[in-house]
Structure 1
Amino acid sequence: MSDDGVLLVIGSGLRYYREYLVESVHRRAVAAGLRTVLLNNLTPTWQTRYFDEITVADVFDPAVMAATARAVAARHRVVGLLCWDEPLVLTAGELAAEFGVPGLGLGGVHACRDKHRTRALLTAAGLPQPGFAMPADLAEARAAADDIGYPVVVKPRALGASIGVVLAHDPGEFDAAYAVASSASAVDQGVYGARVIVEGYADGPEVSVDGAVHKGEYTPMFLARKHSGEAPYFEEVGHVVDAADPLLADDALTDTLTRAHAALGVEDGVTHAEVRLTARGPVVIEVNGRVGGDLIPLLGRVATGIDSGEVLFDVATGRRPELTPTRRAVAGIRFGVPDHDCVVRSVAVPADAPGLVTAGPMVEPGTTLRLPPGGYLARHSFVVCAADDPPTCEQRLDEAAARVVVTADPVDPPERGAVFEMPAGLLDTDA
């Protein structure tokens, strides 16, 4: 083993979603005198400028990921480990514990990844939670829904991005909802895959909070107001981060999140918590053991000045992060979603618009986009805008999104019984 310290990153993620984080991590590593090593599933392209060493391996196979990471640890002194891709977080967290470097902790990473365990731990800690059950089959699921009381939400036990999450208002809608969630959960071959959870519906606006945990101490960084697509599904179509959001000063919300992280046993890391603001107070829906997706960390940086990449580096290497906002602005993102299943022929995004920060296409020509329940993350583009206040930001997002030009051909829905495929946008599949 060489004596040089390295920061190990597992999975770079898609370029348009994660390069800004990689850039910040690389900058901090250089300043700290650390080399950077990446384990990635594809031959690197844009990643080469940020990493001193890159190993290509199937990181989506836990055994392969672990063996490859251990080979790195045999060559180098690993002083920190980072991972922000949801399917990889569990094994990466276990490796951080094995290597003795800061991480979510074994208890914390399993509690975040397993939504059933999340519910059980938060309920035991006395936090407001909906009724929940993890049935073995449809008959048990029907009985659980009756016991919990409608409306209920049916969801995969361990998937992210609201894939397979469906609202059922009554028994007449339940069987179809259960079938959708079951089909989606079957693609997850991990330890918590292929199971479905039934839980009571927590009514109220939904927000997400990205926060940092250092030696068990939780601090919120920024909050995003979520915009969802049409019911009964919960796909995110946009987010808005306001540095002056009054919820950041809400003691009930902060206390709920602090208690939730303690109950889950999170030790060190950056988390993305989703919360419903119900009539009985904040209800934690889930805590993800990673930074937010959907470019939320970029929105947070534009709005508050807090750089999630720098925070990630700090907590992964045992440093107390600096979380004081340096800006007071508003930033939002809007995703372009088709009205129907289609094959995309071309996407053109605006180069200029009021308050435009960035915009980009999210698919290549020839990509088939399918809306729920036949598919998820049917996004052809995104626009990010900034402003001084939320109404102006929303207006600018409307204007920028209206300038996106898409040509596409409609396609028939998938055949009944077709195997659900994981959306490419959830994985690191860019070339």
Structure 2
Amino acid sequence: MTPNPGALLVIGSGLKLYREYLVRSVARRARENGLRLVLINNLKPTWQHEYFDDITVVNVFDHALLAETARELATRYAVAGVLCWDEPLVMPAAELADEFGVPGLSIPGVHGCRDKHSCRVRLTAAGLPQPGFHLAADLDDARAAVARIGFPVVVKPRALGASMGVSLARDAGEFDAAYRVAHEASLVGDEPYRGGAIIEGFADGPEISIDGAVHKGEYLPLFVARKSTGMPPFFEETGHLVDAGDPLLRDGELLRVLAEAHRVLGIENGITHTEVRLTDRGPVIIEVNGRLGGDLIPFLGKTATGIDPGSVLFDVATGQRPDVTPTRSGVAGIRFGYPDHDCVVHSVEVPWDAPGLVMASPMVEPGTTLRLPPGGYIARHSFVVCEADDAATCRQRLAYAASLVEVAATEIEPPPAGTTLAMPAGLLDVDE
């Protein structure tokens, strides 16, 4: 009897613009190791055919259907690993890895990543620096919590990504609106985490993110991204900068906190994206995500350091300790273009030639409606990526390249308060 061929199972390819570079590396490593690359995707594939040997289209957000489909594929292939890099799918992907007996985040680990409240409870119990917090079921509960925690506070949904529904309330006059925004945003997320909001004390200081690999519980940092945010009181991410020589990669206290947090959460194998505030009392972990960073941060890391995140993904998914040694020493950054007002976009023109320009792209089609917080999130019309030998030059190049973007749009009124939030493009697999 011929044995089933070995395969890597990928849950959701993601957008071509954001994830093709990862798929390309994973496909190369799979071929080198004699494995098929098998995809369960939400929509009809196009560009994916170049990389995947087998593609099944189902509603991946129906987790029962996703699991049933994966089990059927496991009767035809010997599953050697499960890969996923889309936030709404990391939990079912980790559950499938556990079921198939292949390396994964672990069930406790993925719950610690996906459920921000669980993460806070476990890190606090372990003695790691954490802000005061409370999971509020309703507005009265939230008001009582903020009376204990004290202003300013951050109000956020329990389980959404990309800072959706997250805002800062500096006093009681701002608090009720912040709670309403977080509660209403939570209603587009996974059903177990809908409703209410998490109230947290504000950890003041620069915000960074760290993408790291975990192999059999060992935490291996890959690269640090310095984050830029805007549109207060919200936390829209407007850009990131990765420096291969960032001194934080050698900061003993930061590395200790990161390793301890992953140990406490029980994360065993995978790649995580951890957000941290550098406060006057040390590094404070804001959240740990059970996936690679979004916003093309892993691409910036690859450009700046030479570390290939797709290859690292392959290694940890198949139980191998990845080589995370940098092969380059540069700086790379991304700047996103946002409108000044809610608008309907008619056209976007990006530069094709500028100092240090690596890539530039429109992010919307003509006719797209962009809404700023709280009516919408990730209202980006374009991005530019630049590289340089040092951080200051990279920032200058990003600013210049961004100034060359030309947008034609018609301003529109914000939606009425209470309008159901639509999940923005860019988070999920929406390629047609």
TM-score of the two chains, using structure 1 as the length reference:
0.99
Aligned counterpart, 1:149: 150
User: In the TM superposition, what whole-angstrom CA distance separates every residue of 1:246-298 from its partner, at most 9, and x where no partner exists?
Assistant: 11110010000000000000000000000000000000000000000000000
RMSD value over aligned CA atoms? Answer: 0.8
The within-5 A match list for 1:6-405 is 6-405=7-406
User: In the TM superposition, what whole-angstrom CA distance separates every residue of 1:311-365 from its partner, at most 9, and x where no partner exists?
Assistant: 0000000011010000000000000000000000001111111000011010010
Mapped to 1, the partners of 2:195 and 2:38 lie a distance apart of 33
What SS class does the counterpart of residue 74 from structure 1 fall into? Answer: coil
Q: Give the conservation status (yes or no) of the 8 Å contact 1:333–1:384.
A: yes
Mapped to 2, the partners of 1:101 and 1:307 lie a distance apart of 22
Amino acid at match of 2:427: L
User: In the TM superposition, what whole-angstrom CA distance separates every residue of 1:157-192 from its partner, at most 9, and x where no partner exists?
Assistant: 000000000100011110000000011001113322
Q: Does the C-alpha gap of structure 1 residues 88 and 195 become closer, same or farther in structure 2, counting only changes over 3 Å?
A: farther
What SS class does the counterpart of residue 48 from structure 2 fall into? Answer: helix
User: In the TM superposition, what whole-angstrom CA distance separates every residue of 1:371-403 from its partner, at most 9, and x where no partner exists?
Assistant: 000000000000000000000000000111011
Q: Give the conservation status (yes or no) of the 8 Å contact 1:188–1:194.
A: no
What SS class does the counterpart of residue 240 from structure 1 fall into? Answer: strand
Amino acid at match of 1:287: V
Mapped to 2, the partners of 1:4 and 1:335 lie a distance apart of 42
Q: Give the conservation status (yes or no) of the 8 Å contact 1:374–1:413.
A: yes
Aligned counterpart, 2:422: 421
Mapped to 2, the partners of 1:195 and 1:418 lie a distance apart of 17
User: In the TM superposition, what whole-angstrom CA distance separates every residue of 1:108-151 from its partner, at most 9, and x where no partner exists?
Assistant: 01111000000001001110000010111100100101101100
What SS class does the counterpart of residue 16 from structure 1 fall into? Answer: helix
| Higher mean displacement: 182-191 or 224-233 | 182-191
Mapped to 2, the partners of 1:411 and 1:208 lie a distance apart of 34
Q: Give the conservation status (yes or no) of the 8 Å contact 2:138–2:196.
A: no
What SS class does the counterpart of residue 42 from structure 1 fall into? Answer: coil
Mapped to 1, the partners of 2:17 and 2:289 lie a distance apart of 21
What SS class does the counterpart of residue 123 from structure 1 fall into? Answer: helix
Cα drift, residue 2 of structure 1 = 4.6
| Higher mean displacement: 62-71 or 380-389 | 62-71
What SS class does the counterpart of residue 332 from structure 1 fall into? Answer: strand
Q: Give the conservation status (yes or no) of the 8 Å contact 2:370–2:379.
A: yes
Structure 2: which 5+ residue stretches go unaligned?
none
Amino acid at match of 1:6: A
What SS class does the counterpart of residue 28 from structure 1 fall into? Answer: helix
Cα drift, residue 417 of structure 1 = 2.2
Cα drift, residue 193 of structure 1 = 3.0
| Higher mean displacement: 70-79 or 380-389 | 70-79
Q: Give the conservation status (yes or no) of the 8 Å contact 1:383–1:400.
A: yes
Cα drift, residue 30 of structure 1 = 0.5
Q: Give the conservation status (yes or no) of the 8 Å contact 2:184–2:418.
A: no
Mapped to 1, the partners of 2:4 and 2:423 lie a distance apart of 40
Mapped to 2, the partners of 1:3 and 1:373 lie a distance apart of 50
| Higher mean displacement: 414-423 or 110-119 | 414-423
Amino acid at match of 1:9: V
Q: Give the conservation status (yes or no) of the 8 Å contact 2:301–2:307.
A: yes
Amino acid at match of 1:325: P
> Is 1:3 equivalent to 2:12 in the alignment?
no
Cα drift, residue 424 of structure 1 = 1.9
Mapped to 2, the partners of 1:365 and 1:43 lie a distance apart of 22
TM-score of the two chains, using structure 2 as the length reference:
0.99
Amino acid at match of 1:238: G
| Higher mean displacement: 254-263 or 2-11 | 2-11
User: In the TM superposition, what whole-angstrom CA distance separates every residue of 1:51-78 from its partner, at most 9, and x where no partner exists?
Assistant: 0000000001111111111111111110
Mapped to 2, the partners of 1:48 and 1:2 lie a distance apart of 25
Mapped to 2, the partners of 1:192 and 1:75 lie a distance apart of 34
What SS class does the counterpart of residue 28 from structure 2 fall into? Answer: helix
